Amino acid sequence: MSTAITEGRPVPGGETVRVEFEDGIAWVKLNRPDKRNAMSVAMAEDMNRVLDALEIDDRCGVVVLTGEGEAFSAGMDLKDFFRATDNVSDVERMRAYRANRAWQWRTLIHYSKPTIAMVNGWCFGGAFTPLICCDLAIASEDAVFGLSEINWGVIPGGVVSKAISTLMNDRKALYYVMTGEKFNGKVAEQLGLVNEAVPADRLRERTVEVARVLLEKNPTVLRQARMAYKFAREMRWEEAAEYLTAKADQTTFVDKERGREKGLAQFLDEKTYRPGHGTYKREGDS
Ligand code: COA
């Protein structure tokens, strides 16, 4: 872990991952720009420590995952992950697989804080997994995406094929799996892989705008809403209805801010806001 300090406290990070805090946003940067942020085992271990630390760090309200330099990430490191695990023991190979699985999907998919992938450049193969497992994604229009696995003789493994099937339709997904053809941020937006694509010089500004909207929401309800959506989509209708009713009750119960009560009172009694236009006035709002 690095020894960088912010507000007198250590900042998580390591050789391959850099973290900066800025007004509630934790900027998490994959930091191997000379290797186009290819994901090595060391990077996976750093990312696991960083995500664990940020989940319980009150300087972080939203995580933005991005890459240093000209890449978001060129995918799994062909040398340090694939070749390096060819001739090692099963235990060593499992260690590498587990480290990557842990942060790329197991942790990210149900992370307790909102996550935004900010795709600043190259995004290939294995990088699709953390991209898809972030809640939201914003890309530079000229970012370049590709399921390049077919081009070097492997399948989109790890969990890439599963991940793309959750956002892309079968025709499009199979087209890119089978051809390895590249596409840009605009096309990624049309495919539903990212929420929006913006000109490169607007990327950070737009990401901050979206992060700020999230930071203004009641964090308890925001967390519950994200989790409810992610679990309910896997359920049958009857199960989802039961679960969501229970989740809604639980949300009211655990919400110390009493958002539901305030939201109703400010709209129905005080008539000071309209939910259709924005969030109710929270304590500390000016
Ligand atoms: N694994 C390991 N090393 C990688 C890498 C990867 N996925 N992607 C890039 N690198 C390394 C290159 O080998 C090179 O290392 P070197 O300086 O020691 O020679 C360095 O990063 C810079 O890459 P380079 O290819 O020179 O950069 P570029 O800007 O010309 O091209 C890419 C960028 C992303 C198009 C190209 O590097 C590429 O095709 N990478 C592989 C992408 C891929 O198939 N990923 C899927 C993995 S699942």
160 in Cβ contact with 126 (< 8 Å) = yes
Based on the domain organization, do 128 and 62 belong to the same domain? yes
Helices (H), the chain: 41-55, 90-101, 108-109, 128-133, 160-167, 170-179, 185-190, 203-216, 219-232, 237-254, 259-264
9 or 185, greater pLDDT? 185
Mean pLDDT of 158-169: 97
Residue 283 in domain: no
As a whole-number percent, the residues of the chain with pLDDT over 90 amount to 93
Residue 284 in domain: no
Among protein residues, the one whose CA lies closest to atom 44 of ligand 1:
148
Among protein residues, the one whose CA lies closest to atom 42 of ligand 1:
74
Say what the pLDDT of residue 8 is: 76
Residue 113 in domain: yes
Q: Which residues line ligand 1 (CB under 6 A)?
A: 35-36, 38, 74-79, 122, 124-126, 148-149, 152
In tens, the pLDDT along 246-257 reads 999 999 999 999
Q: How confident is the model at residue 164 (pLDDT cuts 50, 70, 90)?
A: very high
Mean pLDDT of 50-62: 97
283, pLDDT greater than 90: no
Helix 170-179 vs helix 160-167: angle between axes, to the nearest 10 degrees?
Answer: 140
Among protein residues, the one whose CA lies closest to atom 33 of ligand 1:
36
Based on the domain organization, do 99 and 29 belong to the same domain? yes
Residue 286 in domain: no
d(CA 27, CA 120): 13
196, pLDDT greater than 90: yes
Ligand 1 centre to CA of 78 (Å) is 9
Based on the domain organization, do 80 and 131 belong to the same domain? yes
Based on the domain organization, do 131 and 109 belong to the same domain? yes
Q: Which domain holds residue 235?
A: 219-269
As a whole-number percent, the residues of the chain with pLDDT over 70 amount to 97
Say what the pLDDT of residue 1 is: 41
Say what the pLDDT of residue 4 is: 61
Say what the pLDDT of residue 7 is: 67
Residue 107 in domain: yes
260, pLDDT greater than 80: yes
17 in Cβ contact with 7 (< 8 Å) = no
Burial (CB count within 10 angstroms: exposed 0-12, middle 13-18, buried 19+), residue 74: buried
Name the residue with tokens 């892989």.
Answer: 193
d(CA 226, CA 222): 6
Helices (H), 34-89: 41-55
Among protein residues, the one whose CA lies closest to atom 10 of ligand 1:
35
Based on the domain organization, do 188 and 157 belong to the same domain? yes
Ligand 1 centre to CA of 35 (Å) is 6
193, pLDDT greater than 80: yes
Mean pLDDT of 171-197: 98
Chain centroid to Cα 82, Å, comes to 24
DSSP reduced 3-state for 34: helix
Ligand 1 centre to CA of 182 (Å) is 15
Say what the pLDDT of residue 262 is: 96
Q: What is the CATH number of the domain that holds 157?
A: 3.90.226.10
d(CA 80, CA 66): 21
Say what the pLDDT of residue 5 is: 61
Total number of domains constituting the chain? 2
Based on the domain organization, do 56 and 130 belong to the same domain? yes
Based on the domain organization, do 211 and 223 belong to the same domain? no
Based on the domain organization, do 150 and 227 belong to the same domain? no
219 in Cβ contact with 282 (< 8 Å) = no
d(CA 98, CA 10): 26
Residue 276 in domain: no
Residue 125 in domain: yes
81 in Cβ contact with 100 (< 8 Å) = yes
Based on the domain organization, do 71 and 211 belong to the same domain? yes
Measure Cα distances from 19 to 15, 23, 143, 234, 280 in Å.
11, 13, 22, 33, 32
Mean pLDDT of 98-105: 97
Mutate to test the pocket of ligand 1, among 36, 78, 149 (most ligand atoms within 8 A of CB): 36
In tens, the pLDDT along 201-218 reads 999 999 999 999 999 999
Mean pLDDT of 2-27: 86
Based on the domain organization, do 122 and 262 belong to the same domain? no
Say what the pLDDT of residue 285 is: 78
Based on the domain organization, do 148 and 227 belong to the same domain? no
Rg (CA), the chain: 20
Those residues whose C-beta lies under 8 Å from the C-beta of residue 61, and which sit 6 or more positions away, are 24, 25, 113, 114, 214, 215, 219
Q: Taking the CB of residue 229, how many other CB atoms lie within 10 A of it? A: 11
268, pLDDT greater than 90: yes
Based on the domain organization, do 80 and 147 belong to the same domain? yes
Ligand 1 atom showing the smallest separation from residue 75 Cα: 47
d(CA 282, CA 262): 8
Query: b/e map of 83-120 (b: 16 or more CB within 10 Å)?
Result: ebbeeeeeeeeebbeebbbbbbbebbbebebbbbbbbb
Say what the pLDDT of residue 3 is: 45
Residue 163 in domain: yes
pTM score, whole prediction: 0.95
Q: How confident is the model at residue 2 (pLDDT cuts 50, 70, 90)?
A: very low
